[in-house]
Structure 1
Amino acid sequence: MPTAPRPAALPRPSLTERRRAETQLEIARTAAALFTERGAAVTADEIARAAGVALRTFYRYFRTKEDAVVPLLAAGVRQWIDDLAAPAPDADAPSVREALERTARRSLTPADEPAAEALHWTRGLLRAMPGDPALRAVWHRVHHDAEEALVPVLARLTGAPPLEVRLAAAAANTAMRIAVEEWAAGDEAPDDGPEGPAALVARCMRALTAGLPQLEREAEAGPA
């Protein structure tokens, strides 16, 4: 069976781009902490001062105070999609459905302290969102962008027609979003176990993709 061509490797970001991304992420962590603590009352000036940057620098990176949390919220989603897009490591490749579940679980299972901290701040932000519609709009925009990013990855993995690919991307992205929201809403929500985010996303993924036969195709295997 002929295989679809693999996408060309993306060029490595320059040192300036990497420093910019690190600064944005540091501001995002600071903003998340302040939103978690104070909700909508926090100001852009307070975020900038707490992050150790000038307000002018803050606005060079972000249009609004709510936009400041986008790098933090998007990091986990980007990791999931990059993981899904990578070829399977062996010839015994899982189905696309299994690959979606495995990679989603990995993205919600912190591998180190920074990842655990990011998940912690995401929970705090989600709990602050009912009182801040602009913050909730940012959350939904991040997931809209994630769904768009999933489409070409699933198109390559499944070879399905555009409508079926969009349905699969919508189902997978919604499973991720609902799992994180449900976990964040729970009192004393654990980071692992049957009520942790990784277990919840597996349940959501199975429920929402059960009627999508296009996901039964085997995921692409990597070189032996």
Structure 2
Amino acid sequence: MPVAEQRPTLAERRKAETRLDIARIAARLFAEHGTAEVTADRIAAEAGIGLRTFYRYARTKEDAVEPMLTTGAQRWIEAISTGPHRLPTLAELEVAAVQAVTVEVGEDFELTRGLLRAMETDPALRAVWHRINMEGERELRCALAELAGPDADPVQLRLLAAAAAGAIRIALEQWAIADETGSAGAAAGAGESTPAALVVRCIRALGAGI
């Protein structure tokens, strides 16, 4: 008999909501001013919390934006983990990835885009983004290993995880900057101005051998 999934407690849900609220404020400030001009005090003040409370939710001011950048990856890995107990194909990884990055246009959508754009010239944000991606790749590799079983080739698992995670990272980065100068069509190709469309392009390029 399957074990029922344990739901987060009310306290856990409130903590996650507060962390996301802080992330949204930090993301907006970083995108508008850059990390160098924004202090943890300012983020905390705009979030309506004390500095000590802020540091209970984030190790550094840059780390505060992590929830804005990890949500899609978490959805993707969760979707993959519930699949058949075998190594998924690139096509299956693509379907799960498209579902993970397909979101309604709204404030979070634009805040994430602003963060990724700011990252291009902000080493502190770029370091957070690269760390998040490395952790996501490791989590994906663990999920693939669980599905593939103990006899799976560890090199194949590492290559697949690195390639798939890299494809999504590139897709998101390209989406963020593609229409910054009004040249989305030239930069991404016709019809490729959304994260989902660019994810499809990148993963299929892997399957075709680039």
Q: CA deviation at 1:177?
A: 0.3
Distance between the aligned counterparts of 1:117 and 1:206, measured in 2? 30
- Equivalences for 1:72-221 in 2 at 5 Å? 72-87=68-83, 96-110=89-103, 112=104, 116-159=106-149, 160-187=152-179, 188=182, 189=184, 193-210=191-208
Deviations 1:23-69 (A, max 9, x none): 10110011111111111211111111111111111011112110000
Distance between the aligned counterparts of 1:138 and 1:59, measured in 2? 16
**SS state of the match for residue 19, structure 2?**
helix
Q: CA deviation at 1:158?
A: 4.0
**SS state of the match for residue 131, structure 1?**
coil
What letter is aligned with 1:146? G
Identity percentage over the alignment?
54
Length-normalised TM-score, structure 2: 0.84
Distance between the aligned counterparts of 1:64 and 1:156, measured in 2? 33
Deviations 1:68-109 (A, max 9, x none): 001111111101111122236xxxxxx621111011111221
C-alpha change, 1:147 and 1:171, in structure 2 (3 Å) is same
What letter is aligned with 2:126? R
> Are 2:49 and 1:67 aligned?
no
* 1:219 corresponding residue in structure 2: none
Choose between structure 1 and 2 for higher RCO, CA contacts under 8 A separated by at least 6 residues. Answer: 1
Q: CA deviation at 1:10?
A: 5.5
Uncovered stretches (5+) of structure 2, i.e. residues with no partner: none
Uncovered stretches (5+) of structure 1, i.e. residues with no partner: 1-5, 89-94, 212-224
Q: CA deviation at 1:210?
A: 4.3
Length-normalised TM-score, structure 1: 0.79
> Are 2:8 and 1:13 aligned?
yes
Asked whether the 8 Å contact 1:168–1:209 carries over to 2, the reply is no
Distance between the aligned counterparts of 2:156 and 2:73, measured in 1? 21
* 2:20 corresponding residue in structure 1: 25
**SS state of the match for residue 194, structure 1?**
coil
Distance between the aligned counterparts of 1:194 and 1:72, measured in 2? 22
**SS state of the match for residue 34, structure 2?**
helix
* 1:57 corresponding residue in structure 2: 53
Distance between the aligned counterparts of 1:194 and 1:25, measured in 2? 29
Q: How many residues align?
A: 197
Q: CA deviation at 1:173?
A: 0.3
Distance between the aligned counterparts of 1:182 and 1:131, measured in 2? 15
Distance between the aligned counterparts of 1:179 and 1:130, measured in 2? 15
